[in-house]
A and B are shown apart, each in its own frame.
Chain A
């Protein structure tokens, strides 16, 4: 249980390089269970991602995953979580940005093509809009669905009335 403590150290090569070359891109760093999390200002996310991808000493060329967490009742309410991987250096890093309810995020589809569907899923499940996304529509839920199922204030066992009544839409 020893390495569960949160440290504010920057002893990973990635964080050191990022801090040197992109100081305005880091709000804070935590390392838990050998996993590095960097909190990034929401306005800087696209530039930080592009830097992480293109810097020859970092080369985070693979976007593993992009998802969101609803910190319901906290402000800001949403966290967007990016898991990046460097195929060359075999390193992982987690980026996070925080968003208020209704605040759009900037799309990273221009950096990684794979972000397209991930961002559509986040939009579908959490109702977070992405500026600069080429094709932002629901992906898993039917078109015209009301609400965003993975929000914490969306009930687990409930569906919209029109769905239960079998009304065609």
Chain B
């Protein structure tokens, strides 16, 4: 009897609200979801396999392509892993710039989440506003790295180049205006009855289930577990910045929304602090075996020319060993497991991407809910399929 009432429908992979190429097989009893089976892999590009055949420095551009909404976070996790294995520390200026840009990246990533999540539920204007502000961050990427999406700005040992002229001023004016913009988004959503109806009590996950399923980032903090890697295992000098970890209690889509809005405010605070304490100095370690010599020197010094040639033809070798480096990416725990055999190419790189792990919690969130809420729940866990499928 029950068997006859269950209808199986297919959602995706070409469906605008799956945020990419996610396919869900939904078993429905009327409007209730009985079972949800995600199918992934449509965007698999073999990134881990390709990385094994690239020199260490050349892996950085392919890390951009995982979470393409937060390319610099991916870069950071990877370069930190290589630097840990090399046993080097980057100069202070490079470190502060890295923090500044990854926090801007967090804001940019959360803005895309906010815009797309809102448009999925039917709030069109938030999308337009969020993308207006995100555009400013994309312009900053373009200014520092020359590319808007795949910026690849960080290098093992430091940065690709110093900040261009006028960049600090640009960031300053952004952080001055952005909190007011956030207030505008909140005016539109936070106490909007339709928004509350569509998100409150939707996609609830209990804290013990969240831990069991390996949920991390804002989705975990929305259940009342205030775990943030920037606090628990600070990297890049995060222990020197004053900021608060987001926290909510209900573990539903609305609390995940509150957590991310709160995080954007905290990121603004961190960016302000980086602007205040941005020191002068080199932007990369001064080791000719690791970082390229200044271009003018290559034309006049034989030694510099040789170093340049070796770096571009062979790269550098990394001592044999293994490390697991994690960072708090906008979506959660981003881990890089790097195994070196002592050569100039990684023996094995594994990317523990938050979207892949967080997506696994989707069936537990949607089962028993209405089919219309599936869209709201997918939006609320903030996945990027490039990162799920790698």
Contact = CB atoms under 8 A, between A and B. Distances in A.
Given A112-B212, A140-B41, A142-B41, A83 B324 contact: yes
A32 interface: yes
Nearest to A87: B227
B125 interface: no
Interface string A65-92: 1010110000000000101000100101
B335 A65 contact: yes
Chain A CB within 10 A, most for which of B46, B48, B214, B352: B214
A156 interface: yes
B81 to A, nearest CB: 10
Given A62-B211, A69-B348, A141-B44, A4 B49 contact: no
A107 to B, nearest CB: 15
B216 to A, nearest CB: 8
A149 B326 contact: no
Given A90-B233, A114-B214, A149-B49, A67 B337 contact: yes
B289 interface: no
A150 interface: yes
A94 interface: yes
A35 interface: yes
B232 interface: yes
26 contacts: A1-B319, A4-B321, A32-B322, A64-B324, A64-B326, A65-B352, A69-B339, A69-B348, A70-B348, A83-B337, A87-B211, A87-B225, A87-B227, A92-B233, A113-B213, A114-B212, A114-B360, A116-B360, A118-B357, A125-B48, A138-B41, A139-B40, A140-B41, A140-B389, A140-B390, A156-B49
Given A33-B323, A69-B348, A87-B227, 20 more contacts: A4-B87, A4-B321, A33-B84, A33-B85, A37-B322, A64-B326, A64-B335, A64-B352, A65-B335, A65-B352, A67-B350, A87-B211, A113-B360, A116-B360, A117-B357, A117-B360, A138-B41, A139-B40, A140-B44, A149-B49
Sort A-B residue pairs by CB-CB distance and give the 5 closest, nearest first: A114-B214, A140-B41, A65-B352, A67-B350, A140-B44
